[in-house]
Structure 1
């Protein structure tokens, strides 16, 4: 009997040992060294990829990230223009809190009058560089032993506030400018990026610099931040790509007109711009280069890949590149077309991933999410307006919270000085010109066609109160009335815009779509600005 007891005890110990080993093996599926590849596009619209719109654009590599990762269908940028949302990715704070509420270089206060738009308000003052007081995402990762790399567009301050001043070990091409000053082909006219051979593609160059960094650090943990200048204006492409997408536009049927006048500017309502589509494909080619680099280096299984954009597609002002329909508005606008983005996160070691999630999430969430995913402690005193999305990636939920946008500016694209709150399915917009409010239920009305504040006064009032309590708490700046405002001058400006500018835009669009289109120089100089 004693021998049986001993054998039974040994069997139990062996079984427990096996179970323990299984748990260890199960846990060991997570790699010891977890890397991060963060890909940020510029001015890239929610529907400007074949994952959602295969009738015109071709983006197989970006689509791959979406298909192999988790798609956040209600993923947002933290602002409708670039610098504020880029800062929010770095510090996990909404723009109203960190103070960069407009793109750095935009006119503020009385200087707005220089635009000669004769507006009712003078835009609010804003901060012109990323604060050194904040511990940024790259600084947090660097402190944990990560090699950090930046390539592409920065636009978060002048020298002294460049990527290398905020936690990046290497900087390839990040500096003051928000657009590609030399265009998308070398020479680049970029103080922090050496020129390649004439005609070298900028997006591909940035991708190759990223692959080189990953190769040099394949045995280390790394954070590679690839921040494309694409698809910011001026939009450019090659003759071959222009011809390809011109034929696609023709096959789809070319509408007689595309632009409709909105409050301040005409807005594009068709996706048939062959120059822009060619630029999109070139960016996708560069994404493919980096993904291939991960595979060739044997790093694909232990590298998180993020893809997103800093604001909506440009449908008015600037390069008038695209339409965000059925979403309303575009870059610079308070509507969904200005703030809703492609928002994909791929974590290779999460095998039972959630393919799509409808929870509203935003750019401030990347900071805590990435720390969480690589096993680092969160920094709640830093990423004050962000939460970890790890529960959503694995089938869980997060607590409902308000998302806040504060843009007390006019901008270049025709948006209005406003503040926005989204909570659950409800979205409330406050306008500073006249104090009016708009309420939408995004579950029932994603296109924001039906304004329903009168039917839901209690909801509108509660959201407005919550919005302004937050703005007061963080010490937000506001626009002020312009004492020199002249309604007749503004009306004359708007009338000219609604006629001459709209006519010029339609003429330019048809020239791009003409079989005889010739930019009369190298093809990468193919864009012309409409004044």
Structure 2
């Protein structure tokens, strides 16, 4: 009996030694990979997992069917570069300083790719970053300069700039899959940022999608002809109306020659320099030959019908043209997300990879008569978020909690066992990933938009949003407040701030908003600082006056 015990102890000791001697690579294999997929300006309304009234997106939907769909995901500042900086840092824009598209990103800020790289992950980035030419913490990258181009795009690489012929959505996917397949260190877990340019303006689909979607007609949004009856100056003065601000050449693909032949068109819209030919002339002759028949059809239709249309009919025509091109771009994204998901399955990587699909913000698809984003109103404030993590996230879950792009970085770090820096302001949503009904301490989120005066002229504002309420303060050259009952008024048509029946709610939400500003370190002093910085850079009030004229 004594000898048997000694033998058992010997085997136990040997087992402990073997466990202790496992290589770091084998231990690291147990850590999940991260595939972060982000599109630019992809409205949640244009994902069929949210709503199928515009388009079917079966590949993106796979992520929700096999994982979790978030119905109250949102951004902290609905504009491209600030949102991306928030995602990278886990901080509000007034903290990391990239609060508008004008000023450069503070490269002293710690980003989550840097933390992944330090923790032994293989890190990479392919597609659209939007700011900076040398992303920190990334082992390999090929990124578009600034907005990039849909046709024959230029890429910034560590070896210099290069042009790749083809369609940008396909190319970004080719680069990403090729890296996973043949270039990465397969002894390390990976964190990849797979970042689509589409469906950012100007919406140039691939030739086959251009032809396919040109034949489609889409339902009009209920609020297409919104008159902003109960809202203040900001909604009335924003320059993002489909009829009066969407470009003929740049957006609807009307050739300048067509407008010249017509002797001009009404309403007059100042054209962007080279608005049509900038994107079109990136195509080679063979590519132009594929676009030209559809372009001719559009231009002939416009020339024949536009002068006879009422303003209402013109608005509807522009909406259809907008949706045809915007949704065609999304269809290519969906196809390519499917290619990536298929590769993960075929390679055996899917089981240990967290897949995230999101956008840098929402977008208006004709709601309130608008395109673009920027406002705290729902269509631009809310962003798609779908996550899949086999064996961790139960398939088919829906989470209704208020989560924000601020939360991505701490979530990814916690999921991969990496310490979350104390100065990150986001909260890990890991409890929700494991159980969509878990207790979530956050009752409301904070939002702050800064870029005014600028394109689209959306006034500066900040606010607080819960599942039930939204309180907004517009400031700078106005001082106006709006309150929305999100449950009774989901389309946000009725500002009840001055309604005596809501006086107690106004007082309650105003106090909560002030508390949130203190909690996140925002203040009137910072508001003034960023206004002064911005106006100084733009030449102060002269720019505002000229632009508003």
- TM-score, normalised via structure 2 length: 0.69
- 1:52-451 correspondence runs (5 A): 52-103=50-101, 105=102, 128-157=103-132, 159=133, 162-163=134-135, 166-175=136-145, 177=146, 179-180=147-148, 183-186=149-152, 188-192=153-157, 194-197=162-165, 200-215=166-181, 216-217=183-184, 218-249=186-217, 252=218, 263-264=236-237, 265-268=239-242, 272=320, 273-313=323-363, 315=364, 322-324=365-367, 330-350=372-392, 352=394, 355-381=397-423, 383=424, 385-395=425-435, 396-410=438-452, 411-432=454-475, 433-451=477-495
From 486, 503, 509, the counterpart of 1:460: 509
Counterpart position of 1:110:
none
Give the structure with the larger helix fraction. Answer: 2
| Alpha-carbon offset, residue 292 of structure 1 | 1.5
What's the offset of the Cα at 1:325?
Answer: 7.0
2-structure distance, mates of 1:283, 1:138: 24
Deviation at 1:135, TM superposition (A): 2.0
Contact 1:203 1:283 in 2 (8 A): yes
Q: 1:219 to 1:289 in 2, by over 3 A?
A: farther
State the alpha-carbon separation in 2 of the partners of residues 83 and 486 from structure 1.
Answer: 22
What is the rounded CA distance, in whole Å, between the counterparts of 1:169 and 1:391 in structure 2?
30
The answer to whether the 8 A contact 2:461-2:474 is kept is: yes
* Offset, 1:253: 6.3
Do 1:243 and 1:274's aligned partners in 2 also have CA atoms closer than 8 Å? no
Name the residue aligned to 2:522. 471
- CA–CA separation in structure 1 for the residues paired with 2:336 and 2:107: 32
Alignment coverage as a number of residue pairs: 424
Aligned-residue RMSD, C-alpha? 3.6
Q: Distance in 1 between matches of 2:189 and 2:115?
A: 13
Call closer, same or farther: CA 1:308–1:422 in 2, change over 3 Å. same
Which deviations, in whole Å up to 9, do the C-alpha atoms of 1:296-347 show, x marking residues without a partner? 211000000011111222x4xxxxxx33579x97512221112211111111
Q: Secondary structure at the match of 2:522?
A: helix
Aligned to 2:291: none
Q: Which runs of 5+ in 2 are unaligned?
A: 1-25, 228-234, 243-314
Q: Distance in 1 between matches of 2:68 and 2:127?
A: 25
Partner of 1:319: none
Q: Which position in structure 1 is the counterpart of 2:31?
A: 33
Structure 1 residues 324 and 94: alpha-carbon distance in aligned structure 2, compared to 1, 3 A threshold: farther
* Alpha-carbon distance, 1:430 to partner: 0.6
Q: Secondary structure at the match of 2:216?
A: helix
Closer/same/farther in 2, CA of residues 191 and 146 from structure 1, 3 Å limit: closer
The separation in 1 between residues aligned to 2:512 and 2:80, in whole angstroms, is 26
Mark the runs of 5 or more structure 1 residues left unpaired by the alignment.
1-27, 106-127, 316-321, 494-531
Q: What is the CA-CA distance between 1:76 and the residue it aligns to? A: 0.9
Q: Confirm or deny: 8 A CA contact 1:354 1:392 kept in the other structure.
A: no
How big is the shift at 1:37? 0.2
Q: CA deviation at 1:145?
A: 0.3
Shift of 1:260: 6.3
Shift of 1:201: 1.4
Quick one: structure 1 residues 490 and 292, their matched pair in 2 at CA, closer, same or farther if it must change by over 3 Å?
Answer: closer
Indicate the residue corresponding to 1:8 in structure 2.
Answer: none
Distance 1:324 1:225 in 2: 30
Give the match for residue 118 of structure 1. none
Residue 496 of structure 1 corresponds to none
Assess, with a 3 A threshold, how the Cα gap between structure 1 residues 350 and 254 changes in structure 2: closer, same or farther. Answer: closer
SS of residue in 2 equivalent to 1:307: strand
**Map of 1:124 onto structure 2:** none
Q: Does the CA-based 8 Å contact 2:53-2:219 persist in structure 1?
A: no
| Change in 2 beyond 3 A, CA 1:202/1:266 | closer
> Which whole-Å CA distance do the structure 2 matches of 1:133 and 1:266 have between them?
35
In the superposition, relative to structure 1, how do residues 253 and 309 fare at CA in structure 2: closer, same or farther (>3 Å)?
A: closer
